[in-house]
Homo-oligomer: A and B are copies of this chain.
Amino acid sequence: MFQLSKKVEYGLIAIRHMAAGGPGQIHTAKEIADRYHIPYELLAKVMQKLAKNYILARNPAELKVAAIINAIEGKPNVTIIQCEAESPENCIIHDTCTIKNPLVKLQLNINRVFEDLSIGEMV
């Protein structure tokens, strides 16, 4: 619980690698997979998602970890509370839930943390 998924880890490794190489460099998914001993097929999928979301095109200095997570996980955001993540109708305690509102604030603080770290700072 509360771990980055392998996909996100791999994505971060790949992006950081590309950022460290400089803007002129060309990198293949194969090369990165070999270098860091990451299963190629998995990394390839991750990078496809990143490419589709134009993550790879961005300036590392302005590329935040949050954007990468969202691109890979597909969700609009990291959502701590399950009631919020799914459709609230499905939540059996949705009207008796007393912890939702306080946790939304906490949520925002978490988001801020991920918005705060850029790839540029990781090279």
Contact = CB atoms under 8 A, between A and B. Distances in A.
A23 to B, nearest CB: 18
A122 B102 CA distance: 6
A40 to B, nearest CB: 14
Interface in A69-94: 73, 75, 78-82, 85, 92-93
A49 interface: no
A102 B117 contact: yes
A28 to B, nearest CB: 17
Interface of A: 1-6, 8-9, 12-13, 16-17, 20, 35-38, 65, 73, 75, 78-82, 85, 92-93, 96-99, 102-103, 105-106, 109-110, 113-114, 116-117, 121-122
